[in-house]
């Protein structure tokens, strides 16, 4: 049912009434958040003294508090995609758990090739492994949406390889999220929104309060936030499986509820030392859907679902983190920091509106058939936890007539991964789970095992295992002359499961004048295979040439990987080089341009679905005893090269009573698979990682992403417009190669300040209702209701949306 007109009228009326009631108190001033947004000092990329974003040896983007408040999106992933062209947050649907935890990437690499920090400390990864044909296939990145916007003061984005400085995963770069630390103020924020189609209603509320602890500058800052998003559906009529045609699929956002409680605090012991702690708990409930099962399919029971059914996948996601540390100032301007950081991610699957066909039709021991199956079941739980201990010191060392800033430290990290089996009905082949019994479906074919939609994790795929590693690092930075900065880093890491590695980084910054600067870096890097990639295993249902097929994901060291000759995973290695120029022709203008190249060797990927040959063969001989239609596994199968150019410009004009800020960020990026290789005597590199998977890596994310914006402030009014250009993307696998054309998306916000701390904003996202082009080469997919993009969808399918937001502090 569409409710857009009434909902939009309610929002507009509320805005007008509030404006009329408060206009008399309007003041010509800037708010505290705008002042916070002017901060340009960053700590990311160097362990020496903090620098401005334009003085670093590598490009660092800074997103301030005002940006967070005026951009529109309430999900951190979508907001970063809107503000930073190097960041991508693709929209997914009909992708199991990836519908609920969407992949976040930097510079078009994988979600697990960008390191996320909170207050400079490593953030744990998610428990979910992306196993469907989406961006980040085969990876387990960081659940970026588990961090509430209301707790964030600013965000730093380092666009440079930094594994030698920060450890594994920092191949594409590093995102550092800095939490609020203010005291004595309560901040409240609320937002309502909807789409132009009248669905996807969004409600959000956030409260932040800082309290002083003691009399020596101690504090505790608390954030409570909640959000509810309604579902959207842009599926067309299904003419292939429904007569008369009707909508059978769900293509769009799922129903989602998010709740957060986060904190950040410090307690000084004396003038030289303090304890600190930060972290939070987050919870998300989400509903998504699988593929429609038609009435005549072997995977349904017509007497139960006479018109077929759409399985519903419910996810319950919990995330928690806690960091505790001790900082102390040492003699001679040295500083020490010792910390323990624990993080945990849990995702629980529950299938509903479904059934297990093999339960319904399994022959009884005495004859006849069972005629019963639960319609829902818990299908299993994924758990990941990480414990990190850090101890480091840093400070200046006199060398000759100069000074070298040195940082060194030790890190111990322990990762553990767990798969908990689901209810027996979710995975069994009949109540006896005996594959030797051929259980017939109503149509006469063989009944599928497990509950439909997302078959449960079995006792055979359940696991509880982990690993640990240690690291030693040394950083050094010096200025041999006033206008030249040289820096280097070296890092040694040793893992309990696959060995050790040594990597390094060199960087330089040269400023011949105040208006011109040059910067460059060269580094080696690595990424250890995650424990999720090492231990994940499952049985899922995928589309194979239009036929739903059970696919086994086999973990390393299993019988199937050994039979194919797939060796255990090893680390990815990389080289990263960049050069850039910084121009400041005037105090109110800046321009930076940086070119880069990232080469990754032995990149860990999820293989193609390996299916038996027609008529039999070596693949069939391996797969047939497994009782599944096809198999896939993690393997170091490809080498890639990524080249790109980032250009960032900003100009500020101040008039008598107003300010105009113009900015532009242009991102050009191209990833190529330079080599495919295989350790298998049965599978070639081209079979192991086929053309469709190459397309996903090379063209699944936009090669061009630009952001241009204008921010105008006049007295109490602020108008912000932003246009995002997303280049074309391609997809193939489930259908022939399909191109999704480039699109410009324009967002606009009008904000009015009733006082220095109270604001009302009204905004529109995707103002011109830009949508992906319709399927033109989709095979049967348009007949199934897939009207627009699916696997690679940077802009989504929802279209235009509106919102009204209120912010106040006291």
What is the DSSP-derived secondary structure letter of residue 686?
H
Tell me if 768 sits within 8 A of 747, measured CB to CB. Answer: no
Low-confidence ranges of the chain (pLDDT < 70): 1-40, 49-50, 435-436, 540-550, 627-628
Residue-level pLDDT at 547: 53
What is residue 437's predicted lDDT score, i.e. its pLDDT?
Answer: 72
Distance CA 607, CA 690 (A): 8
CB 730 within 8 A of CB 738: yes
User: Does residue 125 sit in helix, strand or coil?
Assistant: coil
Distance, CA of 302 to CA of 429 (rounded, Å)? 19
Instruction: Tell me whether strands 758-765 and 729-731 are parallel, antiparallel or unpaired.
Output: unpaired
Q: % helix / strand / coil in the chain, to the nearest 5?
A: 15, 50, 40
pLDDT at position 795 = 93
DSSP result, 762-810: EEEESTT---PPPPSS-TTHHHHT--S--SS-SS-S---EEEEEEEEE-
Other C-beta atoms closer than 10 Å to the C-beta of 213 total: 14
Closest CA to 275 of 226, 368, 340, 319: 340
Residue 353 Cα distances to 251, 308, 456, angstroms: 17, 11, 15
pLDDT at 744: 97
**Residue 56: how many CB atoms within 10 A of its CB?**
25
How many whole angstroms separate alpha carbon 785 and alpha carbon 80?
A: 31
The strands making up 121-122's β-sheet, listed across from edge to edge, are: 60-63, 152-158, 173-179, 114-118, 121-122
Environment class of 451 (CB within 10 Å of its CB; exposed 0-12, middle 13-18, buried 19+): buried
Q: For residue 44, what is the DSSP state? A: T
CA distance 234 to 251: 5
CB atoms within 10 A of CB 202: 21
Question: Which residue spans within 114-201 are E strands per DSSP?
Answer: 114-118, 121-122, 152-158, 173-179, 186-195
Looking at residue 32, its pLDDT comes to: 40
Q: How far is CA 695 from the centre of its chain?
A: 20
């Amino acid at each position: 049912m569409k409710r857009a007109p009434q909902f939009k009228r309610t929002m507009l009326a509320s805005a007008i009434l509030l404006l009329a009631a408060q206009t008399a108190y309007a003041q010509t001033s800037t708010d505290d958040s705008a002042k916070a947004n002017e901060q340009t000092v960053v700590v990311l990329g160097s362990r020496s003294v903090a620098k401005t974003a334009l003085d670093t040896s590598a490009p660092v983007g800074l997103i301030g508090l005002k940006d967070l408040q005026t951009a529109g999106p309430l999900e951190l992933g979508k907001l970063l995609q809107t503000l930073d062209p190097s960041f991508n947050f693709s929209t997914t649907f009909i992708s199991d758990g990836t519908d609920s935890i969407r992949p976040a990437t930097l510079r078009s690499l994988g979600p697990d090739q960008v390191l996320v920090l909170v207050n400079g400390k490593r953030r744990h990864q998610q428990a979910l492994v992306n196993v469907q044909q989406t961006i980040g296939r085969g990876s387990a990145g960081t659940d970026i949406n588990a961090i509430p916007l209301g707790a964030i003061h600013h965000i730093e984005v380092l666009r440079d390889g930094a594994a030698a400085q920060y450890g594994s995963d920092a191949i594409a770069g590093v995102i550092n999220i800095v939490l609020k630390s203010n005291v004595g103020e309560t901040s409240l924020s609320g937002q309502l929104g909807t789409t132009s189609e009248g669905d996807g209603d969004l409600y959000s509320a956030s409260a932040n309060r800082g309290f002083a602890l003691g009399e020596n500058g101690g504090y505790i800052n608390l954030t409570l936030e909640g959000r509810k998003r309604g579902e959207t559906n842009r599926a067309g009529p299904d003419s292939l499986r429904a007569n008369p045609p009707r909508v059978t699929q769900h293509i769009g956002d799922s129903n989602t509820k998010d709740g957060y409680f986060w904190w950040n605090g410090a307690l000084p012991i004396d003038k030289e030392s303090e304890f600190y702690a930060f972290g939070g708990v987050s919870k998300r409930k989400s509903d998504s859907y699988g593929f429609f099962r038609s009435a005549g399919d072997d995977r349904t029971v017509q007497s139960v679902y006479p018109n077929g059914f759409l399985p519903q996948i419910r996810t319950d996601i919990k995330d928690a983190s806690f960091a505790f540390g001790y900082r102390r100032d040492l003699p001679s301007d040295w500083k020490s920091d010792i910390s323990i950081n624990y993080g945990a991610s849990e995702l629980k699957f529950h299938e509903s509106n479904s059934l297990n066909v093999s339960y319904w039709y399994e022959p009884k021991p005495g004859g006849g058939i069972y005629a019963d199956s639960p319609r829902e079941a818990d299908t299993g739980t994924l758990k990941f936890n990480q414990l990190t201990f850090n101890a480091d010191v840093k400070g200046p060392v006199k060398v000759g007539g100069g000074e070298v800033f040195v940082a060194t430290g030790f890190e111990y990290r322990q990762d553990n991964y767990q798969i908990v089996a689901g209810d027996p009905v979710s995975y069994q082949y009949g109540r006896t789970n005996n594959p030797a019994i051929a259980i017939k479906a109503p149509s006469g074919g063989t009944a599928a095992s497990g509950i439909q939609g997302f078959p449960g994790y079995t006792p055979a795929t359940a696991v509880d295992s982990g690993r640990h590693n240690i690291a030693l690092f040394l950083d050094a930075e010096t200025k041999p002359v006033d206008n030249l900065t040289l820096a280097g880093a070296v890092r040694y890491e040793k893992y309990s499961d696959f060995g050790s590695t040594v990597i390094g980084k060199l960087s330089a910054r040269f400023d011949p004048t105040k208006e011109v600067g040059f910067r460059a870096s060269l580094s080696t890097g690595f990424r250890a295979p995650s424990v999720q990639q090492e231990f994940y295993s499952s049985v899922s249902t995928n589309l194979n040439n239009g036929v739903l097929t059970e696919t086994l994901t086999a973990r390393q060291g299993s019988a199937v990987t050994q039979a194919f000759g797939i060796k255990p995973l090893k680390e990815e290695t990389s080289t990263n080089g960049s050069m850039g120029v910084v121009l400041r022709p005037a105090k109110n203008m800046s321009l930076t341009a940086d070119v880069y190249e990232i080469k990754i060797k032995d990149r860990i990927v999820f293989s193609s679905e390996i299916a038996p040959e027609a008529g039999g063969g070596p693949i069939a001989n391996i797969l047939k005893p497994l009782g599944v239609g096809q198999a896939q596994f993690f393997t170091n199968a490809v080498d890639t090269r990524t080249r790109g150019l980032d250009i960032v410009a900003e100009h500020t004009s101040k008039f008598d009573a107003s300010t105009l800020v113009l900015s532009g960020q242009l991102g050009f990026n191209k990833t190529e698979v330079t080599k495919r290789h295989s350790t298998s005597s049965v599978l070639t590199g081209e079979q192991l990682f086929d053309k469709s998977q190459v397309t996903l890596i090379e063209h699944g994310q936009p090669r061009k992403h630009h952001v241009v914006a204008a921010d105008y402030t006049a007295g109490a009014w602020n108008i912000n417009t932003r246009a995002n250009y997303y280049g074309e993307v391609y997809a193939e696998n489930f259908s022939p190669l399909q191109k999704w054309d480039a699109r410009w998306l324009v967002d606009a916000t009008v904000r009015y300040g009733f006082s220095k701390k109270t604001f009302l904003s009204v905004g529109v996202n995707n103002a011109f209702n830009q949508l992906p082009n319709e399927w033109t080469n989709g095979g049967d997919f348009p007949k199934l209701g897939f009207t627009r993009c699916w696997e690679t969808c940077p802009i989504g399918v929802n279209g235009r949306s509106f919102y009204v937001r209120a912010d106040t502090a006291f």
